[in-house]
Homo-oligomer: A and B are copies of this chain.
């Protein structure tokens, strides 16, 4: 079997990462329609969570064995991830997990800074009681949460809860993608500053302004929130990597 190859040389660390992949999505997510969707979702979660680090080469055959499928669904999944800029195809070398850099982080925040105020502005007039309740619940959950990965998800869902009534599905789709990508950087943010810098007061202020249908105030808080996060992460990259 090729399994031995994985642990034979310097790839042991990778092997332990890979072998833990399979169960990653199984718990929360529903069953997938196709194998490639399953592989794609699992790999995407692993990359966004940082479990598969930038620069790592993902070889099709190896992944196929781990997931218990042929190389074909793996190939399709990797192509999808390529379209999402999560991997680069290098001929005869494999799909390489894209590196995250200060520049990428800046890009991500510039995009969010453009899209999210738009989404929020469109959504606020149509938000209803259940939306406010959900948002408040998520803030409360974040107060309790310690795990950084789960924290990222809660943060994402909070933001989306306020944008949900924007009525523009493709806009929201883009926002979701950018929020998911932001998780890759948020981990550094939390590591650098601790979870108290999750800016829960910003979240509360946004919710309050939204409740009062005060679009300019909500947008102002959101923009400050994003700019703060962006500069924190920029500082982190400047100091370390």
Interface residues, chain A, CB within 8 Å of chain B? Answer: 33, 75-76, 79-80, 83-85, 91, 103-104, 106-108, 110-111, 113-115, 117-118, 122, 168-171, 173-174
Contact = CB atoms under 8 A, between A and B. Distances in A.
A127 to B, nearest CB: 17
Nearest to A76: B79
A171 B115 contact: no
The binding surface of chain A is classed by DSSP as helix
Contact of A104 (B103, B106, B111, B170): B170
Nearest to A166: B110
The 6 closest A-B pairs by CB, nearest first: A83-B83, A114-B118, A107-B170, A114-B114, A107-B168, A114-B115
Given A76-B75, A79-B80, A113 B106 contact: no
Given A79-B79, A110-B122, A115-B115, 15 more contacts: A33-B91, A76-B76, A76-B79, A85-B170, A85-B173, A106-B168, A107-B168, A107-B169, A108-B170, A110-B118, A110-B171, A111-B170, A111-B171, A114-B171, A174-B174
A103 to B, nearest CB: 8
A176 to B, nearest CB: 13
A5 B86 CA distance: 41
A80 B173 CA distance: 16
A172 to B, nearest CB: 9
A182 B225 CA distance: 31
Contact of A111 (B91, B113, B174): B174
A169 B98 CA distance: 14
A79 B170 CA distance: 18
